[in-house]
Amino acid sequence: MTRVVRSSEIKADIEVDCLIIGGGAAGLTAALAASETGATVLVAERENQLSGSTALSSGLIPAAGTKIQKKQSIADSEDIFFADIMTKNKKTSDFEHVKKIVNQIPKTIDWLSDKYEITFHVLDNFLYPGHTNHRMHTVPEKTGVGLIHRLETAVLKQDVTVATGVQVSDLVVDETNKAIGAICLRPDGTSEHIAAAAIILACNGYGANPDLIAEYIPEMKDALYFGHPGNQGEAILWGKALGAELLHLSGYQGHGSVAHPHGILVTWALMMEGGIQINRKGERFSNEHHGYSEQAVSVLGQDGKISFNIFDERLAILGRGFDDFNKAEESGALIKADSIVELANKIGVDPSTFHKTLAACDEYAGGDKIDPFGRTFDPSKRLAAPYYAVKVTGALFHTQGGLRVNRDAQICHPNGVPFENIFACGGAACGVSGPDVSGYLSGNGLLTALSLGEIAGNKAGKTTSKSN
Protein backbone atom coordinates (compact mmCIF):
# COMPACT_ATOMS: atom_id res chain seq x y z
CA MET A 1 0.00 0.00 0.00
CA THR A 2 1.24 3.47 -0.89
CA ARG A 3 0.33 6.20 1.57
CA VAL A 4 1.08 9.70 2.73
CA VAL A 5 1.30 9.65 6.52
CA ARG A 6 0.69 12.90 8.39
CA SER A 7 2.71 13.40 11.53
CA SER A 8 4.63 16.17 13.25
CA GLU A 9 7.58 13.89 13.96
CA ILE A 10 9.23 10.72 12.79
CA LYS A 11 11.03 8.24 15.04
CA ALA A 12 13.86 7.60 12.67
CA ASP A 13 16.11 4.58 12.28
CA ILE A 14 18.22 6.59 9.84
CA GLU A 15 18.56 10.33 9.29
CA VAL A 16 19.72 11.97 6.06
CA ASP A 17 19.55 15.37 4.42
CA CYS A 18 18.35 14.12 1.12
CA LEU A 19 16.37 10.95 0.44
CA ILE A 20 16.20 9.97 -3.22
CA ILE A 21 13.53 7.40 -4.08
CA GLY A 22 14.63 5.36 -7.11
CA GLY A 23 18.05 4.43 -8.45
CA GLY A 24 17.67 4.95 -12.20
CA ALA A 25 19.28 7.69 -14.30
CA ALA A 26 17.23 10.41 -12.60
CA GLY A 27 17.97 9.25 -9.06
CA LEU A 28 21.69 8.71 -9.63
CA THR A 29 22.14 12.05 -11.39
CA ALA A 30 20.28 13.72 -8.52
CA ALA A 31 22.53 11.89 -6.03
CA LEU A 32 25.69 13.28 -7.68
CA ALA A 33 24.31 16.82 -7.66
CA ALA A 34 22.99 16.65 -4.08
CA SER A 35 26.25 15.20 -2.81
CA GLU A 36 28.16 18.14 -4.31
CA THR A 37 26.20 20.53 -2.06
CA GLY A 38 27.55 18.79 1.04
CA ALA A 39 24.24 17.14 1.89
CA THR A 40 24.12 13.57 3.17
CA VAL A 41 22.40 11.48 0.53
CA LEU A 42 20.58 8.14 0.57
CA VAL A 43 19.30 6.53 -2.62
CA ALA A 44 16.56 3.97 -1.85
CA GLU A 45 15.99 1.45 -4.65
CA ARG A 46 13.34 -1.26 -4.36
CA GLU A 47 15.17 -3.77 -6.56
CA ASN A 48 18.27 -5.69 -5.49
CA GLN A 49 20.36 -4.00 -8.13
CA LEU A 50 20.31 -0.68 -9.93
CA SER A 51 18.59 -0.98 -13.26
CA GLY A 52 15.26 0.74 -13.78
CA SER A 53 13.97 1.46 -17.24
CA THR A 54 17.28 3.22 -17.71
CA ALA A 55 19.11 -0.11 -18.00
CA LEU A 56 16.50 -1.42 -20.45
CA SER A 57 16.81 1.67 -22.63
CA SER A 58 19.04 2.34 -25.61
CA GLY A 59 20.74 4.97 -23.47
CA LEU A 60 20.42 7.79 -26.01
CA ILE A 61 20.23 11.30 -24.55
CA PRO A 62 19.45 14.26 -26.80
CA ALA A 63 21.21 17.54 -26.04
CA ALA A 64 22.07 20.62 -28.10
CA GLY A 65 25.18 22.70 -27.55
CA THR A 66 27.39 20.23 -25.68
CA LYS A 67 31.18 20.23 -25.83
CA ILE A 68 30.96 16.77 -27.40
CA GLN A 69 28.82 18.05 -30.27
CA LYS A 70 31.31 20.85 -30.85
CA LYS A 71 34.20 18.38 -30.79
CA GLN A 72 32.42 16.35 -33.47
CA SER A 73 31.81 19.60 -35.46
CA ILE A 74 28.03 19.28 -35.16
CA ALA A 75 26.27 22.63 -35.41
CA ASP A 76 23.14 22.75 -33.26
CA SER A 77 21.37 25.10 -30.90
CA GLU A 78 18.98 25.09 -27.98
CA ASP A 79 16.47 27.02 -30.10
CA ILE A 80 16.40 24.34 -32.80
CA PHE A 81 16.12 21.56 -30.23
CA PHE A 82 13.34 23.46 -28.44
CA ALA A 83 11.48 23.88 -31.74
CA ASP A 84 11.84 20.15 -32.51
CA ILE A 85 10.35 19.19 -29.13
CA MET A 86 7.48 21.67 -29.44
CA THR A 87 6.72 20.64 -33.02
CA LYS A 88 6.52 16.98 -31.98
CA ASN A 89 4.24 17.69 -29.00
CA LYS A 90 2.20 20.17 -31.06
CA LYS A 91 2.98 22.92 -28.56
CA THR A 92 1.08 21.13 -25.80
CA SER A 93 3.90 21.25 -23.24
CA ASP A 94 4.57 24.22 -21.02
CA PHE A 95 6.90 26.59 -22.86
CA GLU A 96 9.01 27.54 -19.81
CA HIS A 97 9.33 23.92 -18.66
CA VAL A 98 10.67 22.81 -22.04
CA LYS A 99 13.00 25.85 -22.28
CA LYS A 100 14.46 25.07 -18.86
CA ILE A 101 15.11 21.43 -19.72
CA VAL A 102 16.61 22.18 -23.12
CA ASN A 103 18.87 24.77 -21.49
CA GLN A 104 19.90 22.41 -18.67
CA ILE A 105 20.70 19.23 -20.59
CA PRO A 106 23.94 20.33 -22.32
CA LYS A 107 25.24 21.55 -18.97
CA THR A 108 24.36 18.21 -17.38
CA ILE A 109 26.07 16.21 -20.13
CA ASP A 110 29.21 18.38 -19.93
CA TRP A 111 29.20 18.16 -16.11
CA LEU A 112 28.88 14.35 -16.08
CA SER A 113 31.58 14.13 -18.67
CA ASP A 114 34.07 16.63 -17.19
CA LYS A 115 33.56 15.91 -13.50
CA TYR A 116 32.64 12.23 -13.40
CA GLU A 117 34.47 11.04 -16.51
CA ILE A 118 31.34 9.58 -18.07
CA THR A 119 32.41 9.43 -21.69
CA PHE A 120 29.84 10.38 -24.31
CA HIS A 121 29.83 10.64 -28.06
CA VAL A 122 27.11 11.72 -30.49
CA LEU A 123 25.61 9.26 -32.98
CA ASP A 124 26.13 10.99 -36.31
CA ASN A 125 25.28 8.39 -38.93
CA PHE A 126 21.49 8.82 -38.89
CA LEU A 127 18.81 11.13 -37.54
CA TYR A 128 16.03 10.01 -35.23
CA PRO A 129 12.53 11.11 -36.30
CA GLY A 130 11.82 14.76 -35.59
CA HIS A 131 15.40 15.75 -34.73
CA THR A 132 16.87 18.38 -37.02
CA ASN A 133 20.45 17.68 -36.00
CA HIS A 134 22.63 14.88 -34.69
CA ARG A 135 22.33 15.21 -30.92
CA MET A 136 21.87 11.74 -29.45
CA HIS A 137 24.60 11.37 -26.81
CA THR A 138 25.57 7.90 -25.76
CA VAL A 139 28.20 6.15 -23.67
CA PRO A 140 30.69 3.91 -25.53
CA GLU A 141 28.57 0.77 -24.97
CA LYS A 142 25.62 2.50 -26.71
CA THR A 143 23.26 0.91 -24.16
CA GLY A 144 21.23 1.88 -21.12
CA VAL A 145 23.12 -0.76 -19.14
CA GLY A 146 26.36 1.06 -19.95
CA LEU A 147 24.82 4.35 -18.84
CA ILE A 148 23.54 3.04 -15.51
CA HIS A 149 26.85 1.30 -14.75
CA ARG A 150 28.79 4.47 -15.40
CA LEU A 151 26.43 6.55 -13.25
CA GLU A 152 26.56 3.92 -10.49
CA THR A 153 30.38 3.88 -10.58
CA ALA A 154 30.43 7.68 -10.27
CA VAL A 155 27.93 7.68 -7.41
CA LEU A 156 29.73 4.97 -5.45
CA LYS A 157 32.91 7.09 -5.49
CA GLN A 158 31.00 9.86 -3.64
CA ASP A 159 29.81 9.96 -0.06
CA VAL A 160 26.39 8.62 -1.07
CA THR A 161 24.60 5.62 0.43
CA VAL A 162 22.87 3.46 -2.14
CA ALA A 163 20.45 1.06 -0.44
CA THR A 164 18.97 -1.64 -2.66
CA GLY A 165 16.07 -3.90 -1.70
CA VAL A 166 14.45 -0.87 -0.07
CA GLN A 167 10.94 -0.05 -1.24
CA VAL A 168 9.60 3.27 -0.03
CA SER A 169 5.95 2.70 0.82
CA ASP A 170 4.93 5.88 2.62
CA LEU A 171 5.92 9.53 2.61
CA VAL A 172 5.68 11.25 5.98
CA VAL A 173 4.69 14.92 5.90
CA ASP A 174 3.84 17.40 8.66
CA GLU A 175 0.67 19.48 8.88
CA THR A 176 2.11 22.07 6.45
CA ASN A 177 2.80 19.39 3.80
CA LYS A 178 6.53 19.60 4.46
CA ALA A 179 8.17 16.20 4.03
CA ILE A 180 9.89 14.93 7.15
CA GLY A 181 10.75 11.43 6.01
CA ALA A 182 9.58 8.14 4.63
CA ILE A 183 8.77 4.57 5.62
CA CYS A 184 10.53 1.77 3.76
CA LEU A 185 9.81 -1.92 3.41
CA ARG A 186 12.53 -4.56 3.35
CA PRO A 187 12.06 -7.83 1.46
CA ASP A 188 11.82 -9.71 4.80
CA GLY A 189 8.73 -7.67 5.67
CA THR A 190 10.43 -5.39 8.21
CA SER A 191 10.13 -1.64 7.89
CA GLU A 192 12.48 1.27 8.54
CA HIS A 193 11.77 4.93 9.18
CA ILE A 194 14.03 7.44 7.47
CA ALA A 195 14.07 11.10 8.50
CA ALA A 196 14.92 13.41 5.61
CA ALA A 197 15.15 17.17 5.16
CA ALA A 198 14.32 16.85 1.46
CA ILE A 199 12.85 14.10 -0.68
CA ILE A 200 13.39 13.55 -4.39
CA LEU A 201 10.89 11.37 -6.23
CA ALA A 202 12.95 9.58 -8.89
CA CYS A 203 10.82 6.44 -9.06
CA ASN A 204 9.64 6.90 -12.67
CA GLY A 205 6.04 6.62 -13.84
CA TYR A 206 3.26 4.02 -13.75
CA GLY A 207 3.89 1.83 -16.80
CA ALA A 208 4.00 -1.31 -14.65
CA ASN A 209 0.75 -0.52 -12.82
CA PRO A 210 -2.11 -2.04 -14.88
CA ASP A 211 -4.82 -0.19 -12.92
CA LEU A 212 -3.24 3.21 -13.57
CA ILE A 213 -2.65 2.33 -17.24
CA ALA A 214 -6.30 1.26 -17.62
CA GLU A 215 -7.37 4.53 -16.00
CA TYR A 216 -5.11 6.97 -17.85
CA ILE A 217 -3.97 5.20 -21.04
CA PRO A 218 -6.79 2.75 -21.85
CA GLU A 219 -5.57 2.29 -25.45
CA MET A 220 -2.50 0.47 -24.07
CA LYS A 221 -4.10 -1.54 -21.29
CA ASP A 222 -3.68 -4.83 -23.17
CA ALA A 223 -0.36 -3.97 -24.83
CA LEU A 224 3.02 -5.44 -23.98
CA TYR A 225 4.75 -3.32 -21.31
CA PHE A 226 8.43 -3.14 -22.14
CA GLY A 227 9.69 -1.00 -19.26
CA HIS A 228 10.89 -1.83 -15.75
CA PRO A 229 8.55 -3.69 -13.36
CA GLY A 230 9.54 -1.37 -10.50
CA ASN A 231 7.69 1.56 -12.12
CA GLN A 232 4.51 1.08 -10.08
CA GLY A 233 3.40 4.71 -10.02
CA GLU A 234 4.06 5.59 -6.39
CA ALA A 235 5.04 9.17 -7.30
CA ILE A 236 1.62 9.68 -8.88
CA LEU A 237 -0.21 8.12 -5.94
CA TRP A 238 1.72 10.20 -3.40
CA GLY A 239 1.18 13.30 -5.52
CA LYS A 240 -2.56 12.68 -5.59
CA ALA A 241 -2.69 12.14 -1.84
CA LEU A 242 -0.72 15.35 -1.27
CA GLY A 243 -2.98 17.38 -3.56
CA ALA A 244 -0.10 18.09 -5.97
CA GLU A 245 -0.76 18.92 -9.60
CA LEU A 246 -0.50 16.03 -12.05
CA LEU A 247 -0.25 16.72 -15.76
CA HIS A 248 -0.56 14.86 -19.06
CA LEU A 249 -1.21 11.47 -17.48
CA SER A 250 -2.41 10.19 -20.85
CA GLY A 251 1.02 10.88 -22.36
CA TYR A 252 3.45 8.05 -22.97
CA GLN A 253 6.18 6.61 -25.13
CA GLY A 254 5.20 3.65 -27.21
CA HIS A 255 7.34 1.77 -29.71
CA GLY A 256 6.30 0.09 -32.93
CA SER A 257 9.30 -2.16 -33.33
CA VAL A 258 9.67 -4.87 -30.70
CA ALA A 259 10.65 -8.22 -32.25
CA HIS A 260 7.85 -10.72 -31.68
CA PRO A 261 7.82 -13.12 -29.93
CA HIS A 262 11.47 -12.51 -29.01
CA GLY A 263 10.76 -9.29 -27.08
CA ILE A 264 13.83 -7.41 -28.33
CA LEU A 265 13.88 -3.79 -29.48
CA VAL A 266 14.76 -3.44 -33.18
CA THR A 267 16.31 -0.03 -33.80
CA TRP A 268 14.21 2.54 -35.61
CA ALA A 269 17.35 3.62 -37.46
CA LEU A 270 16.36 0.97 -40.02
CA MET A 271 13.15 2.85 -40.82
CA MET A 272 14.84 6.24 -40.92
CA GLU A 273 17.45 5.00 -43.37
CA GLY A 274 15.13 3.35 -45.91
CA GLY A 275 13.30 0.46 -44.22
CA ILE A 276 9.51 0.11 -44.28
CA GLN A 277 6.83 -1.59 -42.21
CA ILE A 278 4.19 -3.81 -43.81
CA ASN A 279 1.22 -5.70 -42.40
CA ARG A 280 0.15 -9.30 -43.02
CA LYS A 281 -1.41 -8.26 -46.32
CA GLY A 282 2.00 -7.05 -47.50
CA GLU A 283 0.92 -3.38 -47.46
CA ARG A 284 2.39 -0.34 -45.76
CA PHE A 285 -0.04 1.28 -43.34
CA SER A 286 1.60 4.54 -42.13
CA ASN A 287 4.39 7.08 -42.49
CA GLU A 288 7.23 5.35 -40.64
CA HIS A 289 9.02 8.68 -40.28
CA HIS A 290 6.40 10.26 -38.03
CA GLY A 291 7.96 8.52 -35.04
CA TYR A 292 8.31 5.16 -33.40
CA SER A 293 6.17 6.15 -30.42
CA GLU A 294 2.86 6.61 -32.24
CA GLN A 295 3.81 3.69 -34.48
CA ALA A 296 3.04 1.44 -31.49
CA VAL A 297 -0.64 2.28 -31.92
CA SER A 298 -0.50 1.82 -35.71
CA VAL A 299 1.16 -1.60 -35.40
CA LEU A 300 -1.28 -2.73 -32.71
CA GLY A 301 -4.08 -1.75 -35.09
CA GLN A 302 -2.92 -4.32 -37.70
CA ASP A 303 -4.16 -7.88 -38.05
CA GLY A 304 -2.76 -9.96 -35.19
CA LYS A 305 -1.23 -6.76 -33.66
CA ILE A 306 1.93 -7.37 -35.64
CA SER A 307 3.78 -6.00 -38.64
CA PHE A 308 7.06 -6.74 -40.40
CA ASN A 309 10.09 -4.44 -40.56
CA ILE A 310 11.50 -4.79 -44.07
CA PHE A 311 15.10 -3.81 -44.78
CA ASP A 312 18.19 -4.93 -46.67
CA GLU A 313 21.86 -5.81 -46.18
CA ARG A 314 22.97 -2.15 -46.04
CA LEU A 315 20.54 -1.56 -43.17
CA ALA A 316 21.42 -4.84 -41.46
CA ILE A 317 25.01 -3.55 -41.30
CA LEU A 318 23.74 -0.32 -39.71
CA GLY A 319 21.63 -2.33 -37.25
CA ARG A 320 24.58 -4.44 -36.19
CA GLY A 321 26.01 -1.31 -34.57
CA PHE A 322 23.38 -1.81 -31.84
CA ASP A 323 23.51 -4.41 -29.12
CA ASP A 324 19.77 -5.13 -29.25
CA PHE A 325 19.82 -5.70 -32.98
CA ASN A 326 22.61 -8.24 -32.56
CA LYS A 327 20.59 -9.97 -29.85
CA ALA A 328 17.59 -10.08 -32.19
CA GLU A 329 19.76 -11.57 -34.92
CA GLU A 330 21.26 -14.15 -32.53
CA SER A 331 17.74 -15.07 -31.38
CA GLY A 332 16.71 -15.87 -34.94
CA ALA A 333 14.33 -12.91 -35.31
CA LEU A 334 15.79 -11.87 -38.69
CA ILE A 335 14.45 -13.61 -41.78
CA LYS A 336 16.66 -13.25 -44.85
CA ALA A 337 15.86 -13.93 -48.52
CA ASP A 338 17.46 -13.35 -51.89
CA SER A 339 14.29 -12.12 -53.56
CA ILE A 340 11.02 -10.37 -52.80
CA VAL A 341 9.02 -13.51 -53.59
CA GLU A 342 11.17 -15.70 -51.36
CA LEU A 343 10.86 -13.24 -48.44
CA ALA A 344 7.10 -12.92 -48.96
CA ASN A 345 6.74 -16.70 -48.84
CA LYS A 346 8.94 -16.98 -45.75
CA ILE A 347 6.90 -14.42 -43.78
CA GLY A 348 3.54 -15.52 -45.17
CA VAL A 349 2.43 -12.42 -47.08
CA ASP A 350 1.05 -12.30 -50.59
CA PRO A 351 4.11 -12.02 -52.94
CA SER A 352 2.33 -9.92 -55.52
CA THR A 353 1.03 -7.35 -52.99
CA PHE A 354 4.46 -7.18 -51.34
CA HIS A 355 6.06 -6.68 -54.74
CA LYS A 356 3.65 -3.83 -55.50
CA THR A 357 4.42 -2.22 -52.13
CA LEU A 358 8.17 -2.21 -52.79
CA ALA A 359 7.68 -1.03 -56.37
CA ALA A 360 5.54 1.86 -55.11
CA CYS A 361 8.32 2.88 -52.67
CA ASP A 362 10.72 2.98 -55.63
CA GLU A 363 8.29 5.25 -57.47
CA TYR A 364 8.05 7.58 -54.47
CA ALA A 365 11.86 7.65 -54.30
CA GLY A 366 12.05 8.40 -58.03
CA GLY A 367 9.60 11.27 -57.68
CA ASP A 368 7.06 9.62 -60.02
CA LYS A 369 4.44 9.38 -57.30
CA ILE A 370 3.76 10.87 -53.88
CA ASP A 371 3.50 8.56 -50.88
CA PRO A 372 -0.13 8.73 -49.68
CA PHE A 373 1.14 8.54 -46.09
CA GLY A 374 3.38 11.56 -46.68
CA ARG A 375 6.82 10.01 -46.27
CA THR A 376 9.70 11.31 -48.38
CA PHE A 377 11.70 8.42 -49.84
CA ASP A 378 15.38 9.08 -50.47
CA PRO A 379 16.45 7.71 -53.89
CA SER A 380 19.88 6.81 -52.48
CA LYS A 381 18.26 4.58 -49.85
CA ARG A 382 16.18 2.21 -52.01
CA LEU A 383 16.00 -1.34 -50.73
CA ALA A 384 17.90 -3.98 -52.71
CA ALA A 385 18.32 -7.77 -52.48
CA PRO A 386 19.08 -9.60 -50.28
CA TYR A 387 16.10 -8.56 -48.16
CA TYR A 388 15.36 -9.01 -44.46
CA ALA A 389 12.19 -9.06 -42.37
CA VAL A 390 11.58 -9.01 -38.62
CA LYS A 391 8.12 -9.63 -37.17
CA VAL A 392 7.38 -6.89 -34.63
CA THR A 393 4.63 -5.71 -32.34
CA GLY A 394 3.82 -2.43 -30.57
CA ALA A 395 4.58 -1.86 -26.89
CA LEU A 396 4.26 0.63 -24.07
CA PHE A 397 7.74 1.77 -23.02
CA HIS A 398 7.10 4.32 -20.31
CA THR A 399 4.64 6.96 -19.21
CA GLN A 400 5.38 10.63 -19.86
CA GLY A 401 2.85 12.39 -17.64
CA GLY A 402 3.47 12.99 -13.97
CA LEU A 403 3.94 15.58 -11.27
CA ARG A 404 4.16 19.12 -12.54
CA VAL A 405 7.45 20.63 -11.39
CA ASN A 406 8.67 24.23 -11.34
CA ARG A 407 12.06 25.42 -12.55
CA ASP A 408 13.67 24.11 -9.34
CA ALA A 409 12.08 20.67 -9.88
CA GLN A 410 9.82 21.16 -6.84
CA ILE A 411 6.39 19.58 -7.13
CA CYS A 412 3.56 22.11 -7.05
CA HIS A 413 -0.01 22.63 -5.92
CA PRO A 414 -2.52 23.28 -8.72
CA ASN A 415 -2.20 27.03 -7.96
CA GLY A 416 1.52 26.86 -8.71
CA VAL A 417 2.74 27.13 -5.11
CA PRO A 418 5.61 24.66 -4.68
CA PHE A 419 5.98 22.05 -1.97
CA GLU A 420 8.99 23.32 -0.03
CA ASN A 421 11.12 20.17 0.07
CA ILE A 422 9.58 17.62 -2.29
CA PHE A 423 11.15 17.34 -5.73
CA ALA A 424 10.52 15.13 -8.78
CA CYS A 425 12.65 14.19 -11.78
CA GLY A 426 12.71 11.69 -14.64
CA GLY A 427 9.53 9.74 -15.26
CA ALA A 428 8.03 10.80 -11.92
CA ALA A 429 7.68 14.35 -13.26
CA CYS A 430 5.57 15.50 -16.18
CA GLY A 431 7.85 15.42 -19.20
CA VAL A 432 7.90 17.38 -22.45
CA SER A 433 5.77 15.11 -24.63
CA GLY A 434 2.28 16.52 -24.08
CA PRO A 435 -0.87 14.49 -23.47
CA ASP A 436 -0.61 11.69 -26.05
CA VAL A 437 1.65 9.11 -27.66
CA SER A 438 2.48 11.20 -30.72
CA GLY A 439 4.16 13.94 -28.68
CA TYR A 440 7.18 11.84 -27.76
CA LEU A 441 10.33 12.99 -29.52
CA SER A 442 13.08 10.35 -29.37
CA GLY A 443 15.06 10.74 -26.19
CA ASN A 444 12.47 12.75 -24.23
CA GLY A 445 12.74 10.13 -21.45
CA LEU A 446 16.41 10.34 -20.50
CA LEU A 447 16.33 14.05 -21.36
CA THR A 448 14.17 14.77 -18.30
CA ALA A 449 15.81 12.07 -16.18
CA LEU A 450 19.24 13.68 -16.41
CA SER A 451 18.33 17.37 -16.64
CA LEU A 452 15.68 17.38 -13.90
CA GLY A 453 17.84 14.95 -11.93
CA GLU A 454 20.67 17.47 -11.74
CA ILE A 455 18.34 20.37 -10.92
CA ALA A 456 16.45 18.38 -8.25
CA GLY A 457 19.64 17.11 -6.61
CA ASN A 458 21.21 20.54 -6.55
CA LYS A 459 18.16 22.36 -5.20
CA ALA A 460 17.22 19.65 -2.72
CA GLY A 461 20.77 19.49 -1.40
CA LYS A 462 20.84 23.26 -0.94
CA THR A 463 17.54 23.32 0.97
CA THR A 464 18.88 20.97 3.62
CA SER A 465 20.19 22.55 6.78
CA LYS A 466 23.69 21.07 6.89
CA SER A 467 24.66 22.46 3.50
CA ASN A 468 23.29 25.94 4.10
Ligand X SMILES: Cc1cc2nc3c(=O)[nH]c(=O)nc-3n(C[C@H](O)[C@H](O)[C@H](O)COP(=O)(O)OP(=O)(O)OC[C@H]3O[C@@H](n4cnc5c(N)ncnc54)[C@H](O)[C@@H]3O)c2cc1C
- Spell out the residues 6+ positions from residue 287 whose beta carbon is closer than 8 angstroms to its own: 371, 373, 374, 375
Q: Which residues, numbered 271-290, are part of the site for ligand X (CB under 6 A)? A: none
Of 244-252, 272-280, 362-370, 445-453, which part binds ligand X (CB under 6 A)? 445-453
Please identify, using beta-carbon distances, which residue of 49 and 468 lies nearer to ligand X: 49
Give me the least distance between CB of 432 and ligand X, in Å please: 11
From the list 35, 40, 57, 406, which residue makes contact with ligand X (rule: CB under 6 A)? 57
Complex with ligand X: residue 310 or 446, whichever CB lies closer: 446
**22 contacts ligand X (rule: CB under 6 A):** yes
Total of residues contacting ligand X (CB under 6 A): 43
Task: Report the sign of the C-alpha dihedral through residues 266, 271, 273, 275, in that order.
Answer: positive
Backbone angles phi, psi at 355, to 5 degrees: -60, -45
397 near ligand X, rule: CB under 6 A: yes
Q: Is 457 an interacting residue with respect to ligand X (CB under 6 A)?
A: no
User: In the complex, what is the shortest distance from the CB of residue 349 to ligand X, in angstroms, rounded to a whole number?
Assistant: 27
228 binds ligand X (CB under 6 A): yes
User: Quick check: 106 binds ligand X (CB under 6 A)?
Assistant: no
Residue closer to ligand X (CB basis): 207 or 282: 207
Among 254, 319, 427, 461, binds ligand X (CB under 6 A): 427
Nearer to ligand X, 47 or 312 (CB): 47
How far is it, in rounded angstroms, from Cα 209 to Cα 146? 27
- Tell me which of 127, 172, 179, 203 binds ligand X, using CB under 6 A: 203
- Closest CB 45 distance from ligand X, rounded Å: 5
Smallest gap from residue 19 Cβ to ligand X (A): 10
**Closer residue to ligand X, CB minimum distance, 1 or 317:** 1
168: contact with ligand X by CB under 6 A: yes
Residue of 52, 256, 401, 461 interacting with ligand X (CB under 6 A): 52
Check residue 202 for interaction with ligand X (CB under 6 A): yes
Q: How far is the CB of 75 from ligand X (least distance, A)?
A: 22
Contact residues for ligand X (CB under 6 A)?
A: 21-27, 44-47, 51-54, 56-61, 167-168, 202-204, 226-228, 230-232, 234, 265, 397-398, 426-427, 443, 445-447, 449
